[in-house]
């Protein structure tokens, strides 16, 4: 097994998920799956890319593949990413000033569950910002159970209990997926990475079988601009 992002071949155990964290670039199984999707798209120089909450390994690879002026890296707290050459500030609850139809690719992992705004708001604006043939690649942590959301100050313990982490504001449940995210986006019925990459490639990148199919904490959604369903 080898990290498909940096080439590292040793992995550390992460809680109950086994040896899934690359010791070289710190990628997780979801990060490596996300990179497989990025490579499948054929990202190349000339593409305009928006990368939110950047992963170090993916950032390093994209920085060498793209013209720096076309690669926008952003987060609500840019100082959290000292390894980024120019991380700009973005508030995903106030996105009206960001340009429409600009990006060939928007990519982020485990961001949606942190945004204290009605779910349709950031998703609408991210799809507005895509070019007509652009792609929105995102990893969303889907959990068993029903959808839950709260923007009130309920304390870290209650957030962990309800959402799984003390800085999350929502839980995206698999039991009623079509009733929340499915009302906003045209979602695949059953994501299947095997059909896209093959089992051999998934094993080689140290992606556990539990991450190959369905909706889970590492599911990668490859969405087109037109997959946003709400219209006036």
Domains of the chain, start order: 11-227 (3.40.50)
Reduced to 3 states, what is the DSSP secondary structure of residue 105?
A: strand
Question: Contact at 8 Å (CB) between 106 and 78?
Answer: no
103 contact partners, CB below 8 Å, separation of at least 6: 48, 49, 50, 72, 129, 130, 131, 134
Whether 231 has a pLDDT exceeding 80, the answer reads no
Q: Regarding beta strands 19-22 and 103-109, do their DSSP bridges make them parallel or antiparallel, or are they unpaired?
A: unpaired
Residues 160, 175: Cα–Cα separation, whole Å: 19
Question: Contact at 8 Å (CB) between 126 and 112?
Answer: no
Q: Encode pLDDT of 176-201 as tens digits.
A: 999 999 999 999 989 999 999 999 99
- Report the pLDDT averaged over residues 164-184: 93
**Percentage of residues of the chain with pLDDT beyond 70:** 100
Query: Band of the pLDDT at 230, cuts 50, 70, 90?
Result: confident
Query: Band of the pLDDT at 16, cuts 50, 70, 90?
Result: confident
Question: Contact at 8 Å (CB) between 89 and 76?
Answer: yes
Q: Measure the N-to-C terminal CA separation of the chain; round to a whole number of Å.
A: 49
Tokens found for residue 153: 């100050």
210 contact partners, CB below 8 Å, separation of at least 6: 216
pLDDT of residue 15: 82
pLDDT of residue 53: 97
How does the average pLDDT of the chain come out, rounded? 95
Whether 63 has a pLDDT exceeding 90, the answer reads yes
Tokens found for residue 186: 């045209």
Q: Encode pLDDT of 114-156 as tens digits.
A: 999 999 999 999 999 999 999 999 999 999 999 999 999 999 9
- Report the pLDDT averaged over residues 196-209: 96
Q: Regarding beta strands 87-89 and 148-149, do their DSSP bridges make them parallel or antiparallel, or are they unpaired?
A: unpaired
Please list the residues that pair with 185 across neighbouring strands.
228
Residues 44, 62: Cα–Cα separation, whole Å: 9
Query: Band of the pLDDT at 14, cuts 50, 70, 90?
Result: confident
pLDDT of residue 84: 95
**Percentage of residues of the chain with pLDDT beyond 90:** 94
208 contact partners, CB below 8 Å, separation of at least 6: 17, 18, 20, 29
pLDDT of residue 232: 57
* CA 63 to mean position of chain CA atoms: 18
pLDDT of residue 17: 86
Exposed / middle / buried, residue 102 (Cβ in 10 Å: 0-12, 13-18, 19+): middle
- Report the pLDDT averaged over residues 159-164: 92
């Amino acid at each position: 097994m080898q990290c498909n992002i940096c080439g590292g071949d040793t992995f550390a155990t992460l809680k109950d998920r086994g040896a899934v964290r690359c010791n070289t670039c710190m990628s997780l199984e979801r990060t490596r799956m996300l990179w497989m999707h990025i490579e499948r798209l054929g990202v190349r120089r000339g593409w305009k890319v928006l990368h939110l909450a950047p992963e170090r390994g993916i950032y390093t690879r994209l920085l060498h593949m793209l013209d720096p002026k076309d690669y926008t890296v952003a987060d609500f707290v840019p100082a959290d990413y000292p390894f980024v050459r120019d991380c700009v500030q973005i508030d995903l609850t106030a996105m009206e000033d960001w340009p429409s139809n600009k990006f060939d690719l928007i990519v982020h992992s485990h961001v949606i569950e942190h945004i204290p705004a009605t779910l349709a708001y950031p998703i609408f604006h991210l799809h507005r910002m895509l070019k007509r043939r652009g792609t929105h690649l995102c990893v969303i942590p889907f959990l068993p159970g029903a959808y839950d959301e709260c923007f009130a100050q309920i304390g870290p313990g209650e957030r962990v209990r309800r959402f799984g982490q003390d800085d999350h504001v929502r839980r995206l449940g698999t039991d009623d997926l079509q009733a929340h995210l499915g009302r906003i986006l045209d979602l695949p019925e059953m994501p299947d990475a095997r059909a896209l990459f093959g089992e051999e490639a998934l094993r080689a990148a140290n992606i556990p079988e539990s991450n190959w199919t369905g909706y889970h904490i590492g599911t990668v959604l490859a969405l087109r601009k037109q997959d946003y369903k709400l219209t006036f």
